[in-house]
Amino acid sequence: MGVAIRGTGSALPEKILTNFDLEKMVDTSDEWIRQRTGMSERHIGQKETVPSLASAACRRALEKAGKKAEEVELIIVATCTTEMLLPCAACRVQNILGAKDAIAFDINAACGGFLFALNTAHHYIESGACNNALVVGSEVLSEIIDWTDRGTCVLFGDGSGAVYVEKTEEGDGSGIIGMSQGSNGMAGKMLYCRGRVVKGETEPEINSEDLLVHMNGGEVFKFAVRQVPICIRKALDMAGLQPEDIDMYLLHQANSRIIESIAKTLKQDIKKFPMNMEKTGNTSSASIPILLDELNREGKIQKGQKLMLSGFGAGMTFGACALIW
Ligand code: UT7
């Protein structure tokens, strides 16, 4: 028995913020942002919330899989930006979808969250606790970004990506074949946010600057280029594969230079590393499932191909998943 992805979906807010818009907000330039990050524009939530984007992505994933919300047994939302502490985003998604029989909960492993959620769903299904799951990454990062800090505000975007996974039958040939994940809380200060102010509810006595993302970009960069290849190799080992056996590497869309460096470390052609951060920015836990959905809808993934998904984020956290499509 295995676990395979049967449907993908994604949702992006309507509003687009370009590098040229950012030039008017902070001391930056389109050229700097494109050269240093690979990004040109990103989507920014207005009325959209973590659960509204997540449920839109889930509906599309269910549609693609030919499933109904009532059939869903587990919903895991990976997020670090949900605007309500209680109830969790996954329960709100359950309510929006009408997935009345699902177990629903959130996971916060920041940008690494989708891999943590996928791994958890994999274990639930493998253990027999349930037969299927919606695994979602959903973020409205724009609400916790310091829009006066050029070192962070040019990087992030909002959005959601979802996959519908289910138990496979004997001899199916598709599914997850290797997973690896880890955390390094000792490096937590590289990227943190103490709390958040909910839109329209800023109290004058709150030091709102402290309730925003703080990041040592250079340290995060070094962490990612060192840790992600190690994590990928562990997932490859578990799957009994070599880097060259993988047809496509779908990595967290944090920075094109990080991905280029990882490709070089793994001695793999950069053509195997599709990227979409040019149009989406870094959407944290949503970036990998958004990219996966884009490729899937464009017919760029063939049955039987081997994929490697891998991400990293605040915590620090990191994860990888090898699968056969
Ligand atoms: O999901 C995980 C989240 N985070 C990440 O993945 C972040 C990983 N890190 C990065 O992507 C890169 O470190 C950044 C894109 C954040 C920064 O790029 P960098 O090449 O590491 O630049 P830097 O921080 O070393 O800064 C180089 C220069 C500095 O100026 P000086 O001191 O050399 O005069 C910065 O002040 O670039 C300046 N700079 C900018 N200039 C124009 C920093 N941000 C900007 C900006 N526009 N937006």
Query: 155 and 181, same structural domain?
Result: no
Distance CA 14, CA 101 (A): 31
210's CB contacts (< 8 A; 6+ apart) are 194, 195
Is 111 an annotated catalytic residue?
A: yes
**CA separation for the pair 320, 176 (Å, rounded):** 11
**Residues 307, 276: one domain?**
yes
Looking at the fold, whether 179 and 218 belong to one and the same domain comes out as: yes
Given CA atoms 219, 224, 229, 231 in this order, what sign does their dihedral have?
positive
- Phi, psi at residue 286, to the nearest 5°? -85, -15
Domain range for 71: 2-168
Question: Both 182 and 305 in a single domain?
Answer: yes
33 backbone dihedrals φ, ψ, rounded to 5°: -65, -45
Q: How far apart are the CA of 6 and the centre of ligand 1, in A?
A: 38
231 is an active site residue:
no
Per-residue pLDDT of the chain (325 residues; tens, 9 = 90+): 799 999 999 999 999 999 999 999 999 999 999 999 999 999 999 999 999 999 999 999 999 999 999 999 999 999 999 988 899 999 999 999 999 999 999 999 999 999 999 999 999 999 999 999 999 999 999 999 989 999 999 999 999 999 999 999 888 899 999 999 999 999 999 999 888 777 666 555 555 667 788 899 999 999 999 999 999 999 999 999 999 999 999 999 999 999 999 999 999 999 999 999 999 999 999 999 999 999 999 999 999 999 999 999 999 999 999 999 9
Rounded to the nearest angstrom, the distance between the alpha carbon of 218 and the centre of ligand 1 is: 7
Q: Which pLDDT does position 199 carry in this prediction?
A: 65
Q: How many residues would you count in the chain?
A: 325
Which entry of 58, 111, 231, 321 is annotated as an active-site residue?
111
> In terms of domains, do 187 and 248 share one?
yes
Does one domain contain both 244 and 301? Answer: yes
**Which residue's CA is the closest to the ligand 1 atom numbered 38?**
151
Do 182 and 236 reside in the same domain of the chain?
Answer: yes
- Contact, 255 vs 35, CB < 8 A? no
Rounded to whole angstroms, the maximal C-alpha distance in the chain is 62
Query: Which of 152, 168, 184 corresponds to the end of one domain?
Result: 168
162/224 same-domain check = no
- Dist. CA 103–CA 89, nearest whole Å: 12
* Same structural domain, 100 and 240: no
What pLDDT is attached to residue 211? Answer: 77
For residues 280 and 139, what is the distance between their CA atoms, to the nearest angstrom?
Answer: 12
Is 122 among the residues known to form the active site?
no
What is the Å distance from ligand 1's center to 32 Cα? 9
Q: Structure tokens of 272?
A: 């195997």
Pocket (CB within 6 angstroms of ligand 1)? 28, 32-33, 36-37, 111, 150-151, 154, 215, 217-218, 220-221, 224, 254-255, 282, 284, 313
Same domain, 193 and 314: yes
Token digits of residue 232: 């990928």
What's the whole-model pTM score? 0.96
Which of 100, 135, 168 delimits the end of a domain?
A: 168
User: In this structure, what CATH number is given to the domain that contains residue 218?
Assistant: 3.40.47.10
Task: Please check whether residues 15 and 79 belong to one and the same domain.
Answer: yes
Q: Which residue, by CA, sits nearest to atom 21 of ligand 1?
A: 218
CA distance 107 to 76: 7
pLDDT reported for residue 99 = 98
Q: Work out the burial of residue 37: count CB atoms within 10 Å of its CB; fewer than 13 is exposed, 13-18 middle, 19 or more buried.
A: buried
Beta strand 159-168 with 132-139: parallel, antiparallel or unpaired?
antiparallel
The reported pLDDT for the residue numbered 204 is 54
Substitution site in 19, 21, 36 for ligand 1 pocket (most atoms within 8 Å of beta carbon): 36
Contact 238, 180 (CB under 8 A): yes
- Among candidate residues 193, 252, 255, 296, the one labeled active-site is 252
